[in-house]
Structure 1
């Protein structure tokens, strides 16, 4: 095959274009810090990158779900702690009211305090997190108790279903408690009876049936307090599990980010070395190309 001057020129230009393209790619890697900047650079790396980003997106969503679960659990625990203290105070008042050193006016004042504590417990039962009622089971859009203008309490919307939130692939955790164990209608009925007994004056010592009445109230209050303790213990166990899940999600996020970095991030030292070599090759190509160009009359005269 006869090699012409045009062939030499074209080959030289093609080689220069290839060198320039390699330099451009290295300069892109250097400026972005990534092995590839478009899927066509390396489809395998690009597909793995999509998978890692999808995994990170899922982990981020699970972490947001865990934040919601935490809010529900922490608020539930605080509310039950307040409810337990409130029931303990009512118990103390019942014991005091059975003492003859208190007259009917004193017992009426105690009844007012119990009434206020009952109202506070109602507010706790209607606690909200992110505009959702957390003590009404799966019916999170309506309060557990409705209070009319006259102060009457109704629980037509009461719901005790579990609210489960996905916190990992196929893993769900119950974020709420069983409200019937913490804020039951029976508990509020007991408090209504206590208020009525205090205002009616039938808790005085020496009266027929008063001792039995006091004992009945104390037993009921103790039962409600024990239900709160049991529900808090169950919640505490789930809070411990939530800690383990949160730690696993954090570790999963770190691991996935590391894999994504290994897959996509460029080795900067290697990129700089490659760029330096490509610059040397490019300069050498230019020098060689100058000799390949068609000689002129001046070249012969020299």
Structure 2
């Protein structure tokens, strides 16, 4: 079968074009450090890379959620610690007021200090994370308590949860009604503090030394119990953060293995392909050079 010069030329040009394509691919791998630049480079690898990127994005969202939850829980713990300190001070003052040696004027002064401590408790109850009030339930845009004589709770009993993994969420909030109450004889902290203040003003030594101290101790136990639950939530968040960090590292390594080029191997292949391309050019030039005049000679 006769092979024409045109057929030979077309074949040589096609081979050179293919060699140039391989050379360009290797040059891209070396310069970018990536094995896959487009889906056609490795369809299966591209599918794996897309799945891994989706996994990394999901892990990043969960990490941000855990971080936000940690801020919320940390602020709650800090506020409850402040309240606990106030309660210990109130207990000291209540014991002092229940002492028969304390004068009426002395109890009045203690009642005034209790009033200031009540406002301090309300200030802690209005703690915020960013623009959100942490003790208001899902009503996070307005303070759950107002300064002054009213101890009404303006929040709700809704639960705020944060995702810590696929299909897993953790409640992070504590409602003010649960800890501080709404006043009005509910026996919670604010109601107890108001009773102590009233009994100091009325010189009711018997109530101060019995029911008031008992109610204060009960509320102190309740706050301590809530704070223990907050600590348990923090431990769970810490464990989730550690797990997500490990998962992110694992997926990132897998993605790097899928998408990144082996630089040493790419350099070796690039050198070999470059040599092959130069040889092909020389070969093509010698084959395509003869013309009719060369044959006539």
In the TM superposition, what is the alpha-carbon distance from 1:84 to its structure 2 partner? 1.0
- 2:200 match: 198
Distance 1:153 1:212, change over 3 A: closer
Distance 1:156 1:180, change over 3 A: closer
Partners of 2:151 and 2:193 lie apart in 1 by 15
**3-state SS in 1 of match to 2:52:** helix
Root-mean-square deviation over aligned CA pairs: 1.9
Q: CA deviation at 1:300?
A: 6.7
| Structural mapping, 1:61-140, within 5 Å | 61-140=61-140
Q: Secondary structure of the residue that 1:153 maps to in structure 2? A: coil
1:269 Cα deviation from its structure 2 partner: 0.8
Provide the rounded CA distance (Å) in 2 between the counterparts of 1:213 and 1:251: 55
TM-score (norm 2): 0.92
Residue number in structure 1 paired with 2:185: none
Please report how far the alpha carbon of residue 294 of structure 1 lies from its aligned counterpart in structure 2 after TM superposition: 4.3
- TM-superposed CA distance for 1:212, in Å, is 4.1
After superposition, give the CA deviation of every residue in 1:198-256 in whole Å (9 maximum; x if it has no partner).
223x14xxxxxx32442111001001100001111112122111111111111110011
The number of residue pairs the alignment matches comes to 292
- Aligned residue for 1:183? 180
Q: Is the 8 A contact 1:181 1:227 kept in 2?
A: no
Structure 1: 5+ residue runs without aligned partners? 204-209
| Residues 112 and 7 of structure 1: CA distance in aligned 2, closer, same or farther (over 3 Å) | same
Pairing partner for 1:165 from 150, 157, 162: 162
SS of the counterpart of 1:259?
A: helix
Conserved? CA contact 2:56–2:248, under 8 Å: yes
Q: Is the Cα contact below 8 Å between 2:200 and 2:208 reproduced in 1? A: no
Q: Which of the numbers 199, 212, 231 marks the counterpart of 1:217? A: 212
Equivalent pair of 1:80/1:182 in contact (CA under 8 Å): no
